[in-house]
Amino acid sequence: MNKQYETVIGLEVHVELATKTKIFCSCQTTFGGAPNTHTCPVCAGMPGSLPVLNKQVVEYALAVGLAANCKIHQHCKFDRKNYFYPDNPQNYQISQLYLPICYDGGIEIETENGKKTIGIHEIHMEEDAGKLIHDEWEDCSLVDYNRSGVPLIEIVSEPDMRSAEEVIAYLEKLRLIIQYLGASDCKLQEGSMRADVNLSVREAGTAKLGTRTEMKNLNSFKAIARAVEGERARQIELLEEGKKVIQETRRWDDNKEYSYPMRSKEDAQDYRYFPDPDLMPIVISDEWIQKIKEAQPELRTEKLLRYKKEFDIPDYDAGILTSSKKLADLFEAATAICNKPKKVSNWLMVETLRLLKEKNREPEDLTFSPENLAKLVELADAGTINSSVAKEVFEHVFEEDADPVQYVEAHGLKTVNDEGALRSAITDIVAANPQSVTDYKNGKEKAIGFLVGQTMKAMKGKADPGTVNKILKEILSENPL
Ligand SMILES: [Zn+2]
């Protein structure tokens, strides 16, 4: 391959908003539930039913738009996107084409190559479709409308990304902003955040964009990165063979690491958009925007600075803790209880992240309470339990939100501070291991480690290793060979 190619990538990201009810009716939005139990005539598309806009949807869309430096269409409206598919009971989706609520913004990303701004073309509000369930019964498909009418925002970027690394950096930044705003939990696995990748390649140095394809069915950051690499390679191969890339929608199969054509890509005119006659245009006043701006919670950059100042923790800690809203919330709440920021930070950065990695979970999946984390910090700090017992207890806090005080009590894990008991255990160990005693006296410092280990074992791990070491040295110095 002699030619150099450049990859041009734009993303369409759908995010399910965290409203309690749907966008145009009062049905609940909770994930799951028995099929078709969260439905009513509006979200089941019954003729004659009328949509009523949920104000919270507009406020979340505004909050995300303002945080992503967008301009606001203060006079915006909804349009009907017409298409037939069984998961779409009205035969049209209520969306925004002509006047999306937010437009012309951008967010800054940082990769190994430095900082870069990714433009945001627009953010529009729309309703989600239902879900088709195939293969449940032999000869038919089933449809569940629980998701129909769940509010979405679609964030359309400019084609400003050039690599999988930039795509992931953009998605991570976007997800963090939205999570901090509380507008969505952005879980890719559950589909509350979904990314479609528009990708084309062109010869480096040319200005004209190549023909793009759109890839769907991407449910993890890793799958997105692989899809970008795979599709780039496929398109370059076509061009090298003198063939053309066809504009189409493709489905990425992450197991086979290959994309398959789904349908030819439609343009806006294929959907016969027109303004929805059932919904009034939305007027967004300057006061309303001001109110949203004032209510905007602290975002990561501000939090980062405050953590260093308020809690006096290192940059490294602050960076990790603020990389997830969940970790930051746990940190602040637990610190407010026990007032030991560095200790709380250590438990979150070391043991929590280790267990998350081991169990292949995200920080957003954490379920333990800050109260129990704070109790554990107190117990370990007061020396009531030693550090290896603390780790053991923490695993139960992590898994089942166990109350550390009760757990330590119930399992008899308190450190034995009774010098008499320790002394007698150590005397027995010394008597039973004459060889180690001789080794130690002959200058083998390491032999003492073995004796400490034996004592800890005899005390079922419930002694303080420092105290054991101290008493052991005393006994050995008293003990003639
Ligand atoms: Zn409904």
Q: Where are the domains of the chain?
A: 5-287, 298-411, 419-478
CATH of 419-478, one of 1.10.10.410, 3.40.50.720, 1.10.260.40, 3.90.1150.10: 1.10.10.410
Give CA–CA dist 197/279, Å, rounded: 31
Tokens of 206: 């040319």
CB 69 within 8 A of CB 296: no
What is the CA(45)–ligand 1 centre distance, in A? 9
| Cβ neighbours, 10 Å, residue 181 | 19
Give CA–CA dist 15/26, Å, rounded: 19
**What is the average per-residue pLDDT within 128-139?**
84
Q: In what order do the strands lie in the sheet with 274-275?
A: 92-95, 79-82, 274-275
pLDDT at 31 over 90: no
pLDDT attached to residue 182: 93
CB 196 within 8 A of CB 16: no
What is the CA(39)–ligand 1 centre distance, in A? 4
pLDDT attached to residue 468: 85
β-bridge partners, 392: none
What is the CA(302)–ligand 1 centre distance, in A? 39
Give CA–CA dist 109/176, Å, rounded: 12
- 155-181 residue pLDDT tens: 999 999 999 999 999 999 999 999 999
Residue in this structure with the two tokens 């006096």, named with its chain if needed: 312
What is the CA(384)–ligand 1 centre distance, in A? 54
What is the CA(232)–ligand 1 centre distance, in A? 41
Helical H runs in 49-134?
55-67
What is the CA(17)–ligand 1 centre distance, in A? 16
Q: Are strands 248-253 and 213-216 parallel, antiparallel or unpaired?
A: parallel
CB 100 within 8 A of CB 76: yes
- 281-296 residue pLDDT tens: 999 999 999 999 999 9
What is the CA(38)–ligand 1 centre distance, in A? 7
- 393-438 residue pLDDT tens: 999 999 999 999 999 989 888 887 777 888 888 888 888 888 888 8
φ/ψ region of 451 (left if φ > 0, alpha if ψ in -120 to 50, else beta) reads alpha
Q: Torsion angle, CA of 37/39/45/48, rounded to 10 degrees?
A: 130
What is the CA(348)–ligand 1 centre distance, in A? 40
Tokens of 392: 């053991």
What is the CA(188)–ligand 1 centre distance, in A? 24
Give CA–CA dist 264/214, Å, rounded: 10
Considering the chain, what is the average pLDDT of its residues?
Answer: 91
DSSP assignment of 13-61 equals EEEE---SB-SSS--B--S--STT-S--TTTTT-TT------HHHHHHH
What is the CA(230)–ligand 1 centre distance, in A? 40
CB 445 within 8 A of CB 470: no
pLDDT attached to residue 263: 74
**Whole-prediction pTM value?**
0.79
Q: Which residues surround ligand 1, an ion (CB under 5 A)?
A: 25, 27, 40, 42-43
